[in-house]
Copies of this chain bind each other. A is one copy, B any other.
Amino acid sequence: MTVQRKRAATIRDVAEAAQVSTATVSKFVNGNQRFTAAVEARISQAVRDLGYSLNPMARGMITGKTGNVGIIILDIRNPYFTNMVKGASRVAASSELNLIIADAAESTSPELGVLQSLCRRVDGLIVSSRLPAPVIKALLETGTPVVFYGRPSPYPQNHNVGCDNYAAALMLGRHLRELGHRRISYLGFSGARWSVDRGRALQDAFKGVDASFRMFDANAPSAEEGERLASTILLSQEMDDAIVTYNDLLAMGVLLEAKALGIRVPEQVSVAGFDNIAYGRLVSPALTTVDMMGEATGELAMRKLVGLIKGETVPLDDDTLQSRIVARESTRARKPRVND
């Protein structure tokens, strides 16, 4: 037993009711021809009477377009991605494209088959650069328009949008340097390609001064994981001047655990993250971060994708957004210590 959906009116039903050919109806609903008043009236009447709306699949067979775009994200619960999706969704809607969201977290690396099947259901794809190289290769070979997010990117010959991670981290590093910090821990997340860029830039920001670094690696970019690792970082040797994390979620976890341990932020240690998610402002101390322009990234990515789908020539080089440091309460100038 299959579900019983009312048989919807087809273009033929409309054509018959309006006493014209299906071609005429087709042109009418696609709005690419002028009609005599009489014909126009008959068709639009028939459309209304029958509640006609065209079958996107039948159209798709001819035009080769699905009317859908896909976006592959790592975890829909991460507010950074949520912001991206928001931006992307807005421009997709304005282009009358539906947004298919594939949460890659389910299958850590989505099987090729699934991805290929997705490809056939969309006119274009926005993709995290985290996918394994062979998968990316197969994806590009399908000819599906793809925009990657995250810069710098390993796919320079393709479209990439986002803030420059190196530049962003450099900015944050300088901020901490100016505050007088010299002992820095970076809690990265090697599951994300951008993490190493951020770590490297952070170190580079301290070139010329005598600074020390420690690197840690999280298993997930989540607050829970930040909490779990915070005590290791906070208690493992003489205290850091500052802890920088791969993202705000990790930083918020660190903040929470620091509080549990009785370590005061920013008095004893500064903490900062990346992304500028909305919740960073609500915790205390309010989190210093770098705004990675999630929503604008999503918008730009989708705008480019729409361009590609329409076959416009989309330039490859206008796609780096400016990040912006958001200094709040969790970072502060280093106080001289007894052993200084």
Residues of A at under 8 Å CB distance from B?
1-6, 8, 53-58, 60-61, 64, 66-68, 70, 76-77, 79, 82-83, 85-86, 89-90, 93, 96, 98-103, 106-107, 113, 116-121, 141-145, 223, 252-253, 255-256, 259, 278-279, 281-284, 308-311
CB-based contact A5/B76 at 8 Å = no
Residues in B whose Cβ lies below 8 Å from that of A98: 70, 100, 102, 118, 121
Question: Which of B117, B121, B143 interacts with A4 by CB under 8 Å?
Answer: B143
Given A86-B103, A118-B98, A144:B77 Cβ within 8 A: no
CB-based contact B64/A5 at 8 Å = yes
Question: Which of B53, B70, B282 interacts with A283 by CB under 8 Å?
Answer: B282
CB-based contact A100/B103 at 8 Å = no
Given A76-B82, A121-B98, A57:B68 Cβ within 8 A: no
CB-based contact A55/B120 at 8 Å = yes
- Chain B minimum-CB-distance residue to A62: B57
In Å, the complex CA distance between A79 and B99 comes to 19
In Å, the complex CA distance between A6 and B79 comes to 36
Question: Which of B68, B90, B103, B282 interacts with A121 by CB under 8 Å?
Answer: B68
Question: Which of B107, B116, B278 interacts with A53 by CB under 8 Å?
Answer: B116
Number of identical monomers bound together in the oligomeric complex:
2
CB-based contact A76/B102 at 8 Å = no
In Å, the complex CA distance between A53 and B139 comes to 13
**A70-B98, A100-B100 given. 18 additional CB < 8 A pairs?**
A1-B311, A2-B311, A3-B310, A5-B64, A5-B143, A53-B119, A55-B61, A55-B120, A56-B120, A77-B82, A77-B83, A82-B82, A89-B101, A89-B103, A90-B103, A256-B281, A256-B282, A283-B284
Residues in B whose Cβ lies below 8 Å from that of A55: 61, 120
Given A283-B282, A284-B283, A117:B56 Cβ within 8 A: yes
Distance in angstroms from A134 CB to nearest chain B CB is: 14
CB-based contact A79/B76 at 8 Å = no
Distance in angstroms from A143 CB to nearest chain B CB is: 4
Question: Considering residues A54, A57, A106, which has the most beta carbons from chain B within 10 angstroms of its beta carbon?
Answer: A57
Can you spell out 29 A-B residue pairs with CB atoms less than 8 angstroms apart? A3-B145, A5-B143, A5-B144, A6-B142, A8-B142, A53-B113, A53-B116, A53-B117, A53-B119, A54-B120, A55-B61, A56-B121, A57-B60, A57-B61, A57-B66, A61-B61, A76-B85, A82-B82, A86-B103, A90-B103, A98-B118, A98-B121, A99-B100, A100-B101, A252-B282, A259-B284, A279-B282, A282-B283, A283-B283
